[in-house]
Amino acid sequence: MSIVMPVIIGAGPAGVRAAQALVAQGLRPVILDEGLRPGGQIYRQPPPGFKRSKSVLYGFEHRKAKAVHDTMQELLSQVDYRPGSLVWNAEGKTLDVLRDGVSTAVPYTHLILATGATDRVLPFPGWLTPGVYTLGGSQVALKFQGCAIGSSVVFMGTGPLLYLVAYQYAKAGAKVAAVLDTSRFGDRLAALPGMLRAPGLLAKGLYYMGWLRAHGVPLHSGVRPVAVHGGDRVTGLSYRQDGQTRTVDCDAVAYGLALRSETQLASLLGCQFEFNTRDRNWTPLRDAAGRSSVPGIYVAGDGAAIAGADAAELSGERAALALLEDTAAHYDAQRAQVLEARLAANSRVRDALERAFPFPVDWAESIADDTVICRCEEVTAGTLRHAARDTGAQEMNRLKALTRVGMGRCQGRMCGTAAAEVLAHAVGRKPADVGRLRNQPPVKPIPVRVVCLERPEKVST
């Protein structure tokens, strides 16, 4: 049997469970993670020295968080874990990995991409005012640094995370000025039968809402953002509800409309993509086990499609089993079936969640011409619309070429989805029909002075 040199990118729940399954069969995967400590997004650990307990940090999830952290701790001697490592390029069977200013080539025979997700950013007037954060970002501040983004915070957007983070902020002592949900109460009612499949999740959600209400936090549904007020700093937020415009005072806004999969590496590696209607985004094509269209490359967790932390653990393990199967190593076929069944059940819950907290499909038409969509390049919605009208641009890469949208530091990772929504609306197409931005290295900006070591290092197996 030829040597198997597996590499896992991402040490979140998906990556950790994948590593565990590989180690169980005697493999020694390399784990590359940009973060400094394992846990990924949801189970992100504060820097050493921070004293808040896991139950305070992760709430109901603290046992799961502990389990993931402990698993990684136990694995440390059996894996080649490299924190603080940014995979900035991928080509053929080699990754370029930047760590401490030096880039090394890391070869692999099999690769599990467990790269997670970032917030889906959908701008609205005033979103660039200091004090406006993405919902996930506001949570990172709390989890990682123990800081709140403000002392009086409005949470706006939709999705289960909205109520969770608001709750976490309130528990941590911040004033939650309001929770403004873009979905309607009726949406959640309609999704109720589906949500009953996941009573635990439902109960938690209801608990957060109930707790917030009981502590005097105003919760509003069916809202649309109008504008953030303030110059140097947020002073308030106005929104529309039932045809009325209301304003709420606050010094910070956390805004979030679900997540967007981090798929650059899959794209650089030539994986085929499909339009995932539930995520309203392009995600790598994969089979039920997580095999991508490229042999030897597997996708798991939120980087494959948004499915949440529990599913990330399941899909990470499932992808590892697929890897084992494909390398003719022993793998537990029965376990694989169990995992697939659980993932399928989870997927049905996801469907219900999407119904409960739907994407505001009127976002693109409602956004004013002067709202900045791409903040790196300061490209407004109006510029995008005019380019579509005046040049006949119908496709994202052409729009990018003509307007610079997505040409800045984030290379479209942040503004890409919003720009696609604006373009699709402007040309009367579906978001699926305007294509996706071509990805090129680096995945994130890297210093020009980076030293690239020429010779691929040897991977210990």
Ligand X SMILES: Cc1cc2nc3c(=O)[nH]c(=O)nc-3n(C[C@H](O)[C@H](O)[C@H](O)COP(=O)(O)OP(=O)(O)OC[C@H]3O[C@@H](n4cnc5c(N)ncnc54)[C@H](O)[C@@H]3O)c2cc1C
Using CB under 8 A as the binding rule, whether residue 55 contacts other proteins is answered as no
Alpha carbon distance 64, 54 (integer Å): 10
Using CB under 8 A as the binding rule, whether residue 442 contacts other proteins is answered as yes
Using CB under 8 A as the binding rule, whether residue 446 contacts other proteins is answered as yes
Instruction: Give the largest Cα separation in the chain, rounded.
Output: 69
14 binds, among ligand X, other proteins, none (CB under 5 to 8 A by kind): ligand X
Using CB under 8 A as the binding rule, whether residue 411 contacts other proteins is answered as yes
Least distance in Å: CB of 438 to other proteins?
9
Least distance in Å: CB of 306 to ligand X?
7
Give the closest residue to 152 by CA, choosing from 214, 233, 63. 233
One-character DSSP codes across 28-71: --EEE-SSSSSSTTTTPPPPTT----HHHHHGGGHHHHHHHHHH
Task: State which of residues 94, 235, 366, 461 lies at the interface with other proteins (CB under 8 A).
Answer: 94
Phi and psi torsions of 406, nearest 5°? 80, 10
Least distance in Å: CB of 446 to other proteins?
6
SS3 247: strand
Task: State which of residues 70, 74, 91, 362 lies at the interface with other proteins (CB under 8 A).
Answer: 91
Task: State which of residues 233, 348, 409, 430 lies at the interface with other proteins (CB under 8 A).
Answer: 409
Nearer Cβ to ligand X, position 140 or 376?
Answer: 140
CA 53 vs. chain centroid, Å, equals 25
11 binds, among ligand X, other proteins, none (CB under 5 to 8 A by kind): ligand X
Q: Which of residues 387-406 bind other proteins (CB under 8 A)?
A: 391-392, 395, 397-398, 401-402, 404
Nearer Cβ to other proteins, position 51 or 449?
Answer: 449
Using CB under 8 A as the binding rule, whether residue 103 contacts other proteins is answered as yes
424 binds, among other proteins, ligand X, none (CB under 5 to 8 A by kind): none
Alpha carbon distance 210, 212 (integer Å): 5
Contact 405, 384 (CB under 8 A): yes
Q: Cβ atoms within 10 A of the Cβ of 203, count?
A: 12
Least distance in Å: CB of 302 to ligand X?
4
Burial of 408 (0-12, 13-18, 19+ CB in 10 A): middle
SS3 139: helix
181 binds, among ligand X, other proteins, none (CB under 5 to 8 A by kind): none
Nearer Cβ to ligand X, position 265 or 269?
Answer: 265
Chain position carrying tokens 């940090």:
57
Residue window 299-338: x/- pattern of binding to other proteins, with contact defined by CB under 8 A: ----------------------------------------
Least distance in Å: CB of 118 to other proteins?
17
Contact 43, 64 (CB under 8 A): yes
Using CB under 8 A as the binding rule, whether residue 440 contacts other proteins is answered as yes
- Write out the E strands in 29-134: 30-32, 80-82, 86-91, 94-99, 102-107, 110-113, 117-119, 132-134
First to last CA, the chain: 14
Q: Which of residues 359-388 bind other proteins (CB under 8 A)?
A: 377
12 binds, among ligand X, other proteins, none (CB under 5 to 8 A by kind): ligand X
Alpha carbon distance 107, 241 (integer Å): 54
Least distance in Å: CB of 443 to other proteins?
10
Nearer Cβ to ligand X, position 353 or 372?
Answer: 353
Nearer Cβ to other proteins, position 281 or 411?
Answer: 411
Residue window 240-279: x/- pattern of binding to other proteins, with contact defined by CB under 8 A: ----------------------------x-x---------
**In the numeric block, which tokens belong to residue 95?**
């990754």
Residues 6+ apart with CB under 8 A from 147: 141
Strands 451-452 and 379-380: unpaired
Stretch that binds other proteins, among 8-16, 165-173, 311-319, 443-451 (CB under 8 A): 443-451
Nearer Cβ to ligand X, position 208 or 239?
Answer: 208
Using CB under 8 A as the binding rule, whether residue 107 contacts other proteins is answered as no
115 binds, among other proteins, ligand X, none (CB under 5 to 8 A by kind): ligand X
Alpha carbon distance 247, 256 (integer Å): 19
85 to each of 11, 40, 95, 99, 337, how far by Cα in Å? 11, 13, 11, 5, 33
CA 124 vs. chain centroid, Å, equals 20
Q: Which residues pair with 178 in a beta bridge?
A: 154
Q: Cβ atoms within 10 A of the Cβ of 428, count?
A: 9
SS3 291: strand
- Which residues of the chain form contacts with ligand X (CB under 6 A)? 9-15, 32-35, 40-42, 85-87, 114-119, 136, 139-140, 161, 164, 259, 262, 265, 301-303, 308-309, 312, 443
The footprint of other proteins (CB under 8 A) covers 89, 91, 94, 96, 103, 105, 268, 270, 377, 391-392, 395, 397-398, 401-402, 404, 407-409, 411, 440-442, 445-452, 454
